[in-house]
Structure 1
């Protein structure tokens, strides 16, 4: 058994760690509230965009647009696919980064003709260490996502897509299922599928008369779709940021609870060690007194 001094030193170290995990929990809690408000504040605008796209497609089902082209005729192994992977800038967030990178590796292994876009330092280090080529690293912090960052990222992806650099774009990120659960997933960003807009619920106050699209339906779509993609990317960044903070909160809470359990066990060990030391001292005093008593009798 360790002596009382060693146990005290270990308890001090755990207490210092406990203060850090508590502070990180509180910081992540504050950031989570902020990110949820950001998403709530911007949802109405992008919902309206989605609704308008649904209306246009309903009136013009045969609309031919580069953003809605079909890739079904391209063999799977021949498709040129771009993956945008969104990870955190740091760890200490449970399995948050692991789940994202696992999906990314599986997808990259399936498609030899792929390009990789990465946002987040953890993802960059991960792929670089494994010798996986990164076509573009967005040098933005994943913390506190902004609409301007989402627009810059989207414009670069859209420009490469319009120039025919790849056939499909997928985004791999973490979505918030509910207040306590998040899930890493992969979604197709481009080309869009008309069927995905057929089931969009149109608000009752939206008028449904025939549309007059000027100068043309294609021109209108070329203006609306990029904004929709920006909204999708921004939503993914905000959700990823929220999920990261939620995962870090849970990880720090688990670490805090483990530290408290360890402190409880160490406290018992310390009391036992102290009691053993006291017992040892009493035994030595009694043995000394008896020895002195025997000497006096002689």
Structure 2
């Protein structure tokens, strides 16, 4: 990061075409954000406290809930702060940190979806060897790998963006610091950073998507070979929640980063869905469609009783 940049802070202009709706949006996003935190905290507590849920699948689901707590926390608190009428300024280092952690947590979650797809592939296609293949060392190694890939991906994107020279203007026409909104403000040539950022995001997204497609193709073939209707439904139910969450996660990435001409309002709406709504939906998608939902409900019920006492 260059110390000689003349810009010491950026001004976040917020969500395009929403002037006058700040307090309404603040109330809506605050509710969604708090619901997201509560839902994922409850799921994480349920997984930790119930011995029946100490399996590889729930280990990955616990990590997903952790990411879904931190991911919206990168952008939402600052957005709520200025929507409530406070300062819209964010420091230069704060902007760089926001961009880094947004892509670090987002890409880590994308890698985790691939790992979870592999977990479902092993469970359905090799059920008798499941616990042998998905042993603790493999699970932990997979998780460490997702964090390393996410860190490398975010470091490259942050370096490309903030090695550029920013000497004004400093108004970011967006509600948080992201590559398509920040790079156009650079006074130096930003074409290399734009193309490398595009290639980096595209390659990672395509590789992860390809791996998911391969795993689910094998899963689909295995499900079709199951003779009993109940067996097919059971196998499908274990994968439908994961597939739904993947579509919710990759849809916004394709729309925002791979479109030829950026559309500020569309991008903002899709990013809000990706940043705030999707983490909330993940807790509902994975929990309410799972066979162990009654175990989760029992834990939630006990927590509520404890709080009431």
TM-score by length of 2: 0.24
**Which structure carries more strand by proportion?**
1
**Which structure carries more helix by proportion?**
2
Higher CA-based Rg: 1
TM-score by length of 1: 0.25
